[in-house]
């Protein structure tokens, strides 16, 4: 008989990720920090990020969980504070002073994702898109 040891943290600040399906437009707040959001609708919508000034330490993950046929999903900041980049089809897509992240409806693949982390000044993005044009970072 073998024994498997399981380590459980007693750190009160450690949280397990909460997974939540999104099927339409949503505005995020501090209570959503740490969540993994699965984009689960055939029609995309807008996800609105909270203001950076009140969001230091907040973080989110967004994963394509269902192909969207006609409309892109967008993640929108109120100002041009999205920095970083994503790897799309083995190409780095840089972002500097952007306000919109788009999961394109014609190039999405289940499993494409982006992570966002805020330091109170900027939202920092990283992620992975499988097909060319799957994720874009722009000012809209």
- In the chain, how many domains are there? 1
What pLDDT was estimated at residue 5?
A: 44
SS3 helix, strand, coil % of the chain, rounded to 5?
5, 45, 50
| DSSP letter, residue 40 | -
Range of the domain at 92: 19-138
Rg, Å, the chain Cα set:
16
Distance CA 81, CA 118 (A): 10
- Reduced to 3 states, what is the DSSP secondary structure of residue 109? coil
CATH number where 92 lies? 2.60.120
Q: Does 72 fall in a domain? A: yes
Q: Does 8 fall in a domain? A: no
Residues in the chain: 140
pLDDT along the chain (140 residues), means of 10: 44 68 96 96 94 96 93 97 97 97 95 98 98 96
Q: Does 62 fall in a domain? A: yes
pTM: 0.88
């Amino acid at each position: 008989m073998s024994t498997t040891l399981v380590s459980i943290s007693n750190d009160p600040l450690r949280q397990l990720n909460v997974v939540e399906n999104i099927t339409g437009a949503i505005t995020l707040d501090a209570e959503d920090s740490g969540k993994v959001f699965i984009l689960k609708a055939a029609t995309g919508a807008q996800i609105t990020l909270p203001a950076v000034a009140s969001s230091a330490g907040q973080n989110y993950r967004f994963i394509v969980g269902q192909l969207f046929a006609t409309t892109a999903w967008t993640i929108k900041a109120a100002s041009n504070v999205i920095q970083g980049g994503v790897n799309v089809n083995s190409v780095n897509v840089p972002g500097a002073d952007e306000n919109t992240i788009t999961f394109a409806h014609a190039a999405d693949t289940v499993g494409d994702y982006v992570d966002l982390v805020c330091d109170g000044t900027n939202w920092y993005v990283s992620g992975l898109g499988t097909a060319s044009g799957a994720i874009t970072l722009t000012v809209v």
